[in-house]
Chain A
Amino acid sequence: MEATAGGGCGSGPPLLLSEGEQQCYSELFARCAGAAGGGPGSGPPEAARAAPGAATAAAGPVADLFRASQLPAETLHQITELCGAKRVGYFGPTQFYVALKLIAAAQSGLPVRIESIKCELPLPRFMMLKTDAEIRFGNPAELHGTKVQIPYLITEKSTFKRMDDEEKQQETQSPAMSPLASPPSSPPHYQRVPLSHGYSKLRSSTEQMHPAPYEARQSLVQPEGPSSGGPGPKPPRHQASLIRSFSVERELQDHSNYPDEPWRITEEQREYYVNQFRSLQPDPSSFISGSVAKNFFTKSKLSIPELSYIWELSDADCDGALTLPEFCAAFHLIVARKNGYPLPEGLPPTLQPEYLQAAFPKPKWECTLFDSYSESMPANQQPRDLNRMELSVKDMADFPAPTQDVTGDDKQALTSATDEALPKDISEDSATPKDPNSLKARPRSRSYSSTSIEEAMKRGEDPPTPPPRPQKTHSRASSLDLNKVFQPSVPASKSGLLPPPPALPPRPCPSQSEPASEAELHSQLNRATSQAAESSPTKKDIPYSQPPSKPIRRKFRPENQATESQEPSNTVGGPASVATVKPHPAVQKQSSKQKKAIQTAIRKNKEANAVLARLNSELQQQLKEVHQERIALENQLEQLRPVTVL
Chain B
Amino acid sequence: MAVCVAVIAKENYPLYIRSVPTESELKFHYMVHTSLDVVDEKISAMGKALVDQRELYLGLLYPTEDYKVYGYVTNSKVKFVMVVDSSNTALRDNEIRSMFRKLHNSYTDVMCNPFYNPGDRIQSRAFDSMVTSMMVQVC
Contact = CB atoms under 8 A, between A and B. Distances in A.
Interface residues of B, number: 28
Interface string B94-127: 0000000100110111011111101000011110
Interface stretch (B13-21, B73-81, B83-91): B73-81
Nearest to A288: B114
B22 interface: no
Interface stretch (B23-31, B40-48, B59-67, B131-139): B40-48
Contacts of B125: 309, 312, 345
10 contacts: A290-B114, A294-B114, A312-B109, A320-B112, A345-B125, A415-B112, A419-B112, A425-B108, A644-B47, A646-B40
The 6 closest A-B pairs by CB, nearest first: A290-B114, A320-B112, A420-B76, A645-B47, A294-B114, A308-B115
Contacts of A297: 115
A291 B76 contact: no
A499 B111 CA distance: 41
A244 B101 CA distance: 44
A429 B108 contact: yes
A420 B108 contact: yes
Contact of A418 (B48, B118, B126): B118
Interface in A308-342: 308-309, 311-312, 315, 318-320
A646 B105 CA distance: 23
Contacts of A509: none
B76 A425 contact: no
Nearest to B43: A646
B113 A315 contact: yes
B78 to A, nearest CB: 6
A311 B47 contact: no
Interface of A: 290-291, 293-294, 297, 304-305, 307-309, 311-312, 315, 318-320, 345, 411, 415, 417-422, 425-426, 428-429, 644-646
Given A308-B113, A420-B74, A421-B107, 20 more contacts: A290-B112, A290-B114, A307-B115, A312-B124, A312-B125, A312-B126, A315-B112, A318-B112, A319-B112, A345-B125, A411-B112, A415-B114, A417-B111, A418-B111, A418-B118, A419-B108, A420-B76, A421-B108, A425-B108, A646-B43
Contacts of A644: 47, 51
Contacts of B101: 425, 428
A311 B115 contact: yes
A236 B57 CA distance: 59
B76 A418 contact: yes
Contacts of B112: 290, 315, 318-320, 411, 415, 417, 419
A231 B104 CA distance: 52
Contacts of B105: 421, 425, 428-429
Contacts of B48: 645
B74, B107, B114: residue with the most chain A Cβ atoms closer than 10 Å: B114
B113 A290 contact: yes
A425 B57 CA distance: 14
Nearest to B74: A420
B2 to A, nearest CB: 20
Contact of B109 (A307, A318, A345, A646): A318
A419 B48 CA distance: 24
Contacts, number: 86
A419 B116 contact: no
A293 B111 contact: no
Nearest to A308: B115
Contacts of B44: 645-646
A459 B97 CA distance: 50
A418 B119 CA distance: 11
Contacts of A312: 109, 113, 124-126
A201 B108 CA distance: 39
A421 B72 CA distance: 13
Contacts of B108: 318, 419-421, 425-426, 429
A644 B75 CA distance: 12
A320 B113 contact: yes
A10 B43 CA distance: 92
A439 to B, nearest CB: 18
A539 B114 CA distance: 63
Contacts of B115: 294, 297, 304, 307-308, 311
A289 to B, nearest CB: 8
A345 B112 CA distance: 20
B36 to A, nearest CB: 11
B47 A308 contact: no
A645 B113 CA distance: 29
Contacts of A291: 114
Nearest to A419: B111
B121 to A, nearest CB: 10
A318 B104 CA distance: 13
Nearest to B39: A646
Contacts of A426: 108
B104 A320 contact: no
Nearest to B40: A646
A297 B114 CA distance: 10
A425 B75 CA distance: 12
Contacts of A417: 111-112, 114, 116, 118
A305 B113 contact: no
B62 to A, nearest CB: 19
Nearest to B47: A645
Contacts of A419: 108, 111-112
B104 to A, nearest CB: 6
Nearest to A417: B111
A309 B116 CA distance: 10
A322 to B, nearest CB: 9
Contacts of A320: 111-114
Contacts of A425: 101, 104-105, 108
B116 to A, nearest CB: 6
Contact of A308 (B40, B74, B77, B124): B124
Contacts of B51: 644
A318 B51 CA distance: 27
A293 B114 contact: yes
A443 B107 CA distance: 26
B114 to A, nearest CB: 3
